[in-house]
Amino acid sequence: MIAEDFTTLFGFPPEISGFTPGRVNLIGEHIDYNGGRVLPTALDLGVTVALSPRANGRIRIGSDKFDGIAERGMSDAAADHWSDYITGALQIAFAEGFGPNGADIAVTTNLPFGAGISSSAAVTVCVLRAARDLSNANQSDTDLAVLARRVENEYIGMPCGIMDQMAVAIARPGQALSLNTETLSFDLIDLPKTHHMAVIHSGVFRQLNEGRYKIRKEECDQVKTAAQREDICQMSDAELHRLKSLPKDIFRRARHCVTEHRRTVAAADALRENRMAELGALMNASHISMRDDFAMSVPKVDALVADAQAFGAVGARLTGGGFGGCIVACVDHTKLDAWRDKLLAAHPDAFWVA
């Protein structure tokens, strides 16, 4: 299908194509840039890219989500345009010596935008992987994840951590990635056959580069300065207590980082050993911390999470960067259909994602 789309756009077939999944984070929010452990899983949904190289410094991009062909240059700065992530990925691939000096690219995706399930990371990694494979370069998938984060941090100006890029580069559907964000070491954990990790969009859309994510990152930087360490998620109870003189909101951000890291470590063990009730309780506690300590939820999401739990989910929480987007819920597979129908009936703006 993507090859046909590419040929329709440009009049000739692509030289390479590939797929990269989106991700949903089961637990461990806003701690990947604070030295914490995270637990995302790959989705069946994702991004498909077809590419043919050019050598004239020009980029042409077509997407099934937008009309026309975007024309960009290999020296263009970010322009707050949907093609920025692809342009930035090509620029970094070329600068690193394995990408072409321009390309024709077709992109299709079944990931909703503004949902907190990593459409930006998926398309960035997908383009980098296509460039690597086309040139037979030796960058690992972890290397590509690091470069994809640079696209977000340096080109887009989004101060994200490494979780999204590692999740979509490494994990496959049916696997959770227990990732140490300091060392990038990881374990892959099979998801249980008895439960589904259901993803429901709240109907509240947002863009992470709109500012609130950046504010939370800056607040965590204040904690790092006060604590005199970068890995604030690893602080002891005594170290956290010494920060109580900070402004209340800043202390709450610190408390979330410490407790969320500990919840995520425990959740990985619970998932590995199929202790689903424990996993669900940790997910529920995570949402409370995101709502009260990190102040990253909104009322519509809180109501959706509360009903997801009340209607029978083992656990449910906001997932992603926050301020809208999706929730993730752990639901017994025998109850999934009835649970979903009841939840969506109670929340008409919400919709099923995966």
- Under DSSP, the state recorded for 152 is I
Pairing of strands 37-53, 175-180: antiparallel
Classified as helix, coil or strand, 274 is coil
d(CA 7, CA 316): 43
Phi/psi of residue 268, nearest 5 degrees: -60, -40
Residue tagged 């689903």 (tokens): 276
**Structure tokens that stand for 203 in this block:** 């109907």
Active site (annotated) includes residue 164: yes
Residue tagged 């506690």 (tokens): 285
Note whether 133 and 339 are within 8 A (CB): no
Note whether 51 and 127 are within 8 A (CB): yes
Note whether 202 and 301 are within 8 A (CB): yes
> For residue 31, which of 263, 211, 248 has the smallest C-alpha distance?
263
> For residue 150, which of 72, 221, 95 has the smallest C-alpha distance?
95
State the angle between helix axes of 84-95 and 141-150 in degrees (0 to 180), rounded to the nearest 10. Answer: 120
Pick the catalytic residue: 84, 164, 293, 307? 164
Classified as helix, coil or strand, 66 is strand
Distances 280 to 32, 40, 285 between C-alpha atoms, Å = 21, 15, 9
d(CA 251, CA 326): 26
3-state class percentages of the chain: helix first, strand second, coil last, to nearest 5: 45, 25, 35
d(CA 5, CA 262): 46
- Residues involved in catalysis: 164
